[in-house]
Amino acid sequence: MSATRRAAVLGSPIAHSLSPVLHRAAYAELGLGDWAYDRYEIDEAALPGFLEKLGPEWAGLSLTMPLKRAVIPLLDEISATAASVEAVNTVVLTSDGRRAGDNTDIPGMIAALEERGVRQVERASVLGAGATASSALAALSRICTGEVTAYVRSAARADEMRGWGERLGVTVRTAAWEDAAAAFEAPLTIATTPAGTTDALAAAVPDRPGTLFDVLYEPWPTALATAWAERCGAVVGGLDLLVHQAVLQVERMTGCAPAPLAAMRAAGEAALAAR
């Protein structure tokens, strides 16, 4: 057997990550018996030293918070997609020793929406203004033909979102979080906030909602997703995003395409059900 090829997910905290489950399921389905995928608790201070110690058996890394921006100065190149939001969640380690950064969150969002039949919308709403919200704007820059309204908690966050909109070529209007129920008037609402943040909005879901993309996968379903589904609205969840971005990571790291979406999703669902 050839030497084991290695990949891993890095971040802090990392114990909750489903990435090992998804990637290992892909390796099993693809017959990559000599591949291993692990998780490492790594913060910004430890990242440079970790990267320096990687040997030629390493094929790639998945990155979560707080490393998506911190890794950029340590790379030899980054894709235009990653540069657009200044965030790298995927590092491919090439045979000549180079470190290439990419962002699969953005195309993962687009693929997850497309799977549910959402290919283009005339306007959209974003709940929140963190790192995931900027990725959402990047995704919307490709599928939204009109205005995006971002519902935020502070003037500083509003400025950030408008700035990202200008950079990404998206017309962004900002509104106060207190008015967030109005977000549901758009055909697509993307919720990017931490667990519990949108629970109070569940009662405001209209009788005929459009599509909700709630990026959380644990706990799931959220109160908002439950209320949305009860009113027969389409719901895209955080596991959909996680699986689609992991599919792209597997393809980039292993060179095997297409990655086994169904097997990876089934493994993720089983892992969440067992928690």
Query: In sequence order, which residues have a C-beta less than 8 Å from that of residue 75 and are 6 or more positions away?
Result: 88, 91, 99, 100, 101
Strands 148-152 and 124-127: parallel
Peptide bond just before 13 cis, omega within 30 deg: yes
User: How far from 127 is each of 8, 46, 63, 176, 213, CA to CA, in Å?
Assistant: 31, 32, 23, 10, 10
Residue 241 token pair:
């995003």
- b/e string for 240-252 if b means 16 or more Cβ within 10 A? bbbbbbbbbbbeb
Residue 137: in which H helix or E strand, if any?
helix 131-143
Where does residue 254 fall: left (phi above 0), alpha (psi -120 to 50 degrees), or beta otherwise? alpha
Collapsing DSSP to helix, strand or coil, 264 comes out as helix
Spatial CA neighbour of 188 closest among 151, 220, 235, 141: 235
Q: What is the rounded CA–CA span in Å between residue 105 and residue 107? A: 6
Active site residues: 68
Q: What is the rounded CA–CA span in Å between residue 97 and residue 113? A: 35
User: How far from 49 is each of 71, 126, 220, 270, CA to CA, in Å?
Assistant: 12, 37, 36, 35
The DSSP annotation for 86-126 comes to: T---EEEE-TTS-EEEE--HHHHHHHHHHHTT---BS-EEE
